[in-house]
Amino acid sequence: MKPIPFFILLLLTQCAFSQLKITGTVLERTEKGDPDTLADVHISWLNSTSGTVTDSSGNFSLTYSTDHKKIVLSYVGYVSDTITVNRPNLGKLYLQPNIALEEVVVRKKVNSIQKSLFNPQNTVNVDSREMLKAACCNLSESFETNPSVDVSISDGISGAKQIQMLGMNSPYLLFTQENMPFIRGASQIYGLSFIPGSWIESIQITKGAGAVLNGSESISGQINTELVKPLTDQKFFLNTYANNNERFELNTRYNTVLNDKLATGLYLHANSRSGKLDRNDDNFLDTPIAKQLNLMNRWQYVDLEKGWVSYLNLQYLTDNKQTGETSYDPDVHAFSNQFWGSEIETHRFDASAKIGYVFPELQYQSFGYQTAYSNHRQNSYYGNKRYDINHTSFYSNLLFNSIIGSTQHKFKTGFSFNYDQYDELVNSDVISRIDNGVGSFFEYTYDSLERLSFVAGLRADHSNRLGNFITPRLHVRYSLWDKASLRFNLGRGKRAANIYAENQQLFASNRNITTINSLGKIYGLDPEIAWNSGVNFSQKGYLFNRLFDISIDYYHVNFKNQVVVDWETPQEISFYNLNGKSTSNSLQFDLNYEIIQNLDLRATYKHYDVEVTYNKGLLEKPLQPRNRVFINLNYETQKKYEGRQWVFDFTSNWLGKQRLPDTSTNPTIYQLDAYAVPYTVLNTQITRIFNTSFEMYIGGENIGNTIQKRPIIAATDPFGPYFDSTITYAPTLGGIYYIGLRYKIK
């Protein structure tokens, strides 16, 4: 007998006694596979509106009707099921959950270099991803993939990398670390190599005089670095690096979160370069033998409810460099005329503290106090020339932020105090000086919330070296149309030039050092004063459905007074006050575009026109290419499981011809051409990210092997009058190939 007719028979028999009920229990399988009852499941006859729901234990009962044969079980989040009713008790019925769709996160790719359309200042923000592109290693090298600043090499002896902005050397830039003046005075030349790249969270590069908060010293621009914060950083980070020139690096950070408000981090950086390298066979090391140990302890305290934020940093650094002739042994040959050699030994201690308070009831009102102490001791000699500097610095700044009426009108005001003690030994001359100053500032920010916004700042300073003076700064932004900004800035800068510390490379030559003026207060010279004005136009938009971003800058810097560094007479270097015109005009055109999915292009053309009046007359600044072209290509594969990814990076830097200082009175073999020929430097890197905690990279710097054939004049006669390593216009080191790894624990 077939089941259904039997059932109907049974049904008919029972019908006489009572209404027939269909019963059952609805269940699901939990993740572990155990059965679990489902309440509130809707049960209805197919194609009918009559139905019921399951009770809290998953049971249901439904009055039988002969019109229907099937029931439908439906429940949100589960696959509906249709069941043929062939018995009164349907027993256990399992529902299957809808297969959960994996969450799709749509993420807008944010470039690692960002320029805001809304900031009145022409500021580029560079985040930590950019630091990974130049795998190593410190702040100076991190700019190699960035077109906003130019990286150059200061001399053929130390190989120290210098950065330039608007065609002006780094002393005209104001460096701050977390908004406190940092690389200045004695650390001006080598200081950029004292901040390891892996400690950096982000960099803000501002073209133009910048804000008044941090003093009057900035003339070409300001560069601020933010370091990683113990509360938000990974628990542990390790990075090692090695290259074919026996340079090894170790970067490690360990953070301890003590409670939700307090955390501390211990950061360590060590590097060593032990290989003696002389690929150009001039008998001089192409790059110094070096060792550095850099230790930092950071404390961070944040209490958001009460509005307190505080930082404490302690940093100690020791750095040793040795260079010169390959056979030079400092223990045997120091200060003898047998071999030429040089050693630079630096010890530096930094302590800084910051405390900030945001009024919990008035979010727009806050005050901050920051203070820093540093001691920088450098003992060095270059051949028979000695240069020692001991610089003790103390800085303090009190700041108050609030509004006038509404947040459309914001202001910042405060006081600052600085004290700098310099003790220098230049050959046998002892030069000591103390600079101190107090200043007060007021900065007003207006935002129309429509097209116009501006920042107007004024500071008044009283300084024993610079006198009493005011520093006005203005930044205006006007939005022309959708996603386009026009910016204008104007500002004055004033600073004291530390002629020896800033031009240390001069010691690695046998040029005679002279200071011509004698009436001024800084080495007999006057303070440097310049006006900086600039315009910028930025437009963002879509081209073929891909984001592009173009930017055009024009800046003009006009020196009222400058300490002219004159290399124009061979065998001589002299410092004197500007007598005439000194200007820098720079034009920059930037394009950022995603060519195809995940392939980003960054292209820049820069034109510089820098002229200084020397005693010989108005001349183009030497070692300054008039034209530069920068191209960076970055390709990233789609991120896979656990962040698995390949990242490819390629940078090309083309430098046009550069005027070289006059060498025409040297013997013919020691003469250089009037201009250096244009050249290109290529860098590339491949990174393999295995998962969120482990990645490896390999790369090459200067893979085209572009080098300056003869970086040192008269290398065979280092104690003779023509010896000069200061005319460096191209890399002194050929291709560098490196490998490294990064390991992190969240």
Partner 1 sequence: MIKLKVLTIFSTILVTFSMFSQDKNKNASFKVQGNCSMCESRIEKAAIKTKGVKFASWNSNTKTFEMIFNENMCTIADVKKAIVKAGHDVDSLSADIKVYEKLPPCCQYRDPKSMEMDHH
Closest to partner 1 by CB, 1 or 104: 104
CA angle 379, 501, 512 (to 5 degrees): 95
In the complex, what is the shortest distance from the CB of residue 226 to partner 1, in angstroms, rounded to a whole number? 23
**What does the alpha-carbon distance between residue 14 and residue 700 come to, in Å, rounded to a whole number?**
89
**Closest separation in Å from C-beta 306 to partner 1:** 16
Secondary structure (3-state) at 15:
helix
**N- to C-terminal Cα separation, the chain:** 69
Our CB check for partner 1 shows the closer of 89 and 408 to be 408
- One-letter amino acid at 402 equals S
Quick one: three-class SS letters along 544-604?
CCEEEEEEEEEEEEEEEECEEEECCCCCEEEEEECCCCEEEEEEEEEEEEEEECCEEEEEE
* Nearest CA-CA partner of 349 in 373, 382, 365: 373
Judged by beta carbon, residue 364 or residue 415, the one nearer partner 1 is: 364
Q: Are 196 and 251 spatial neighbours (Cβ–Cβ below 8 Å)?
A: yes
Contact 624, 608 (CB under 8 A): yes
Nearer to partner 1, 406 or 518 (CB): 406
Of 29, 96, 90, 39, the closest CA to residue 61 belongs to 90
Nearer to partner 1, 34 or 361 (CB): 361
Sole residue written with tokens 């022409």? 122
Between CA 496 and CA 215 the distance in angstroms is 12
Work out how close the CB of 407 gets to partner 1 at its nearest, in angstroms, rounded to a whole number: 5
CA separation for the pair 490, 535 (Å, rounded): 9
Q: Minimum distance from CB of 409 to partner 1 (Å)?
A: 10
Q: Which is nearer to partner 1, 48 or 407 (CB)?
A: 407
Please name the residue that has the structure tokens 């499941």.
Answer: 41
Q: Please, what is the minimum distance in Å from the beta carbon of residue 362 to partner 1?
A: 6
Shortest distance, CB of residue 406 to partner 1, whole angstroms? 5
Q: Which is nearer to partner 1, 110 or 449 (CB)?
A: 449
CB of 449 to partner 1, least distance (A): 5
Number of other residues whose CB lies within 10 A of the CB of residue 387: 20
Coil, helix or strand at residue 283: coil
| Residue (376 or 477) nearer to partner 1, CB | 477
CB of 447 to partner 1, least distance (A): 9
CB of 410 to partner 1, least distance (A): 10
- Closer residue to partner 1 in complex, CB, 12/362: 362
CA triple 676-678-682, angle to 5 deg: 125
Given the complex with partner 1, which of 409 and 616 has the nearer CB atom? 409
Nearer to partner 1, 47 or 406 (CB): 406
Q: In angstroms, what is the minimal distance from the CB of 408 to partner 1?
A: 6
Which stretch of DSSP H or E encloses residue 238? strand 236-243
Is the CB of 337 or the CB of 407 nearer to partner 1?
407
- Cβ within 8 Å of residue 620, ≥6 positions away: 609, 610, 611, 626, 659
Burial class (CB in 10 A: 0-12, 13-18, 19+), 498: buried
- Find, among 383, 379, 381, 382, the residue nearest to 337 by Cα: 383
* Minimum distance from residue 219 beta carbon to partner 1 (Å): 35
Binding site for partner 1 (CB under 8 A): 361-364, 403, 405-408, 449
Distant-in-sequence, close-in-space partners of 261: CB < 8 Å, separation ≥ 6 = 301, 302, 303
Peptide bond into 136 cis (omega under 30): no
Q: How far is the CB of 363 from partner 1 (least distance, A)?
A: 6
Helix (H) and strand (E) counts for the chain? 4, 44
Nearer to partner 1, 104 or 519 (CB): 104
Q: Do you know the residue count of the chain?
A: 746
Residue 423, judged by CB atoms within 10 A of its CB (0-12, 13-18, 19+), counts as middle
